[in-house]
Amino acid sequence: MPWKTSRLYSNGKQIFFSSVSHYSFTRQLSLSSSPNLKTLCSNGEFKEALLQMAILGAEMKFEGYDTILNECVSQRATREGQRVHAHMIKTCYLPPVYLRTRLLVLYNKCGCLGEARKVFDEMPQRNVVSWTAMISAYSQRGFASEALNLFVGMIRSGTEPNEFTFATILTSCIGSLGYEIGRQVHSIAIKRNYESHMFVGSSLLDMYAKSGRIHEAHGVFRYLPERDVVVCTAIISGYAQMGLDEEALGLFRQLQSEGMKSNYVTYASILTALSGLAALNHGKQVHNHVLRLGQSSYVVLLNSLIDMYSKCGNVCYARRIFDSMPERTCISWNAMLVGYSKHGMGNDVLELFKLMREENKVKPDSITFLAVLSGCSHGKLEDRGLEIFYNMADGVDGVEPDIGHYGCVVDLLGRAGRVKEAFDFIKKMPFVPTAAIWGSLLGSCRVHLNVDIGIIVGQQLLEIEPENAGNYVILSNLYASAGRWEDMRNIRDSMQEKAVIKEPGRSWVELDQVVHTFHASDHTHPRREEVAKKVKELSIKFKEDGYVPDLSCVLYDVDDEQKEKVLLGHSEKLALAFGLIATPDRATIRVIKNLRVCVDCHSFAKFVSKLYARTVILRDKNRFHNIVGGVCSCGDYW
């Protein structure tokens, strides 16, 4: 045997021996006098534990490897874990399934997916934990097909999946085939009696919700024997993400009455729903809960509060929360920028964007530039917006423009009346224009009465989206605005032939935590007669003060008297009248519209604000109109 040099620690001193006999003697001395591996690891002496492993050599046992590997997993110590793995190989130690699985888990936690798969492939035997750990490794990193293939291999091997396997594989049921594959996994879970398990139920619920099958998700939720905060949050989040805000709010209130304890994720989810409803009073209540429970330090929750206050029309309070944040992520900046953008506050968008760059703590991302370009579009700052876009295109900002940014430029030019320029810009784009981009330009053609380009764009849209009612409606409205009634009727007839249904306009107002919804010429609201009478009364009063109904907003070939009657039935006016009846003097009236607010209703709202000393906040599907003293924040530009 060649001469070796060994070192050990004895009473804190380092001693060197050079002969084989000395080595053998001192090794025995070391083994008898050194603390065991568990003691070293528990005392934080990890390096000493690894040294002890080297000294023990082939005499390392299961317990020692288990102790050190657990410490490696705990610290995510990749190199140290590799040393343990190498030691097993050098000493010809054949680890049992448990230790091989621990190695697999270690490599997975350290992001070494290739090494984890190699350990898995070399395992002579595998149990349910080994399979689940490898499936989880792929699933966590977005390799859904690999995870699903492993799951199939597991079933074929005869290894029975457990609740953790099902919960893990369901997270990989995503994409176009996610729903169908998820249903198959669900059926396997039912056969093995795992459907009602908490972890499996939660994953099933999440899978169905993300696939847009919220009713199936609720079915899973309803039959769970137990529900924890994670499951309750998942179903509320599912409704909110689907835009079913009223359902999300109703379920949240029901679960609270049943004793559900919310966490910061629950509150963030319900704030998303309240943002959609613009239910400010509910939002304030949630904010108070957050403050009382001491959860206001979570960045994700503060971001949701910024979004909620902005979408409820209180952008000033959203800014207060933003300014008070001890730490801001890019999402925080983007939430505030989007808030300003939706309120048409273009200059505020640019000032905040400048501040973001000056602080230089968070780099702007693609969403940041979308918010800035949108802010320039809504704020009538088209030249500044074009400058920002072309700087992006030249690589100045380190964010390459994608099709969303090109769409913002089309919207920006179209809103400014530069329809021909927007049309030419689309032709030169390096992307195939989407339906959304063509739709934006068609809307601009309608507003600025550019019939020639509008017909070209409209026909393009009807080919791309033959089932989208909005395209038919805008094109028919464009014909109507130009007095081309025959063409308008042809479009309407085409809608009927293809059974394309237009989304009805509706507006809603929150009062005493109850959301009141109004449809055009509403006949369903309990106070409909009182509201209709109030609208007529307001129309007469406003005419005395200079209000002239904009009959161009009625796109029917009828006489002026009939057009004015149609205008009085618009859902925005009904909601405004109800707001005046049902709220105290000088209280702010908040109205939400699911479609674009029409010019006449916008004018009507300004007279409500002026003559009744009310702040009126109108939110349509594109932006906010904050009207004070008869003057709107949009500057009559939207």
Rounded distance between C-alpha atoms, residue 79 and residue 57, angstroms: 18
Q: Is residue 53 part of a domain?
A: no
- Final residue of a structural domain among 327, 349, 378: 327
Q: Is residue 528 part of a domain?
A: yes
pLDDT in tens, 484-510: 888 888 888 888 777 777 778 889 888
196 touches 224 (CB < 8 A): yes
Alpha helices by DSSP H, listed for 43-177, are 46-56, 62-75, 78-90, 97-109, 113-121, 128-140, 144-157, 163-170
Relative orientation angle of helices 78-90 and 62-75, to the nearest 10 degrees: 160
Count the domains in the chain. 2
* Closest CA relative to residue 621, chosen from 598, 603, 637, 604: 598
Q: What value, to the nearest 5°, has the Cα angle with vertex 396 and ends 392 and 399? A: 50
Q: Is residue 594 part of a domain?
A: yes
Place of tokens 């288990």: 66
Sorted by sequence, the CB contacts under 8 Å of residue 329 that are 6+ apart come out as 299, 303, 362
In order of 291, 468, 473, 592, the CA distances from 501 in angstroms are 45, 8, 10, 22
- Final residue of a structural domain among 267, 299, 327: 327
* Closest CA relative to residue 74, chosen from 66, 64, 85: 66
pLDDT at position 533 is 94
Q: Is residue 46 part of a domain?
A: no
The whole-model pTM stands at 0.75
pLDDT at position 190 is 92
Tokens of 41: 């690891």
- Final residue of a structural domain among 271, 296, 327: 327
600 touches 630 (CB < 8 A): no
Show the domain range for 620. 506-632
Q: Is 468 helix (H, G, I), strand (E, B) or coil?
A: coil
Q: Is 510 helix (H, G, I), strand (E, B) or coil?
A: strand
pLDDT at position 558 is 59
Q: Is residue 627 part of a domain?
A: yes
Sorted by sequence, the CB contacts under 8 Å of residue 286 that are 6+ apart come out as 267, 270, 271, 274, 308
pLDDT at position 555 is 56
pLDDT in tens, 191-241: 998 988 888 988 898 899 888 889 999 999 888 888 888 888 889 988 998
Rounded distance between C-alpha atoms, residue 35 and residue 48, angstroms: 10
Place of tokens 């293939």: 149
pLDDT at position 27 is 45
Q: What's the per-residue H, E or C state across 575-595?
A: HHHHHHHHCCCCCCEEEEECC
Q: Is residue 27 part of a domain?
A: no
pLDDT in tens, 143-196: 999 999 999 999 999 999 999 999 999 999 887 778 899 999 999 999 998 988
Residues of the chain with pLDDT under 50: 1-34
Q: Mark residue 635 as left, alpha or beta (left: phi above 0; alpha: psi -120 to 50; beta: remaining).
A: left
Tokens of 335: 């939430």
Q: Is residue 583 part of a domain?
A: yes
Rounded distance between C-alpha atoms, residue 98 and residue 133, angstroms: 12
Tokens of 368: 């940041």
User: How do beta strands 13-17 and 514-519 pair?
Assistant: unpaired
pLDDT at position 17 is 36
Burial of 58 (0-12, 13-18, 19+ CB in 10 A): exposed
Sorted by sequence, the CB contacts under 8 Å of residue 213 that are 6+ apart come out as 179
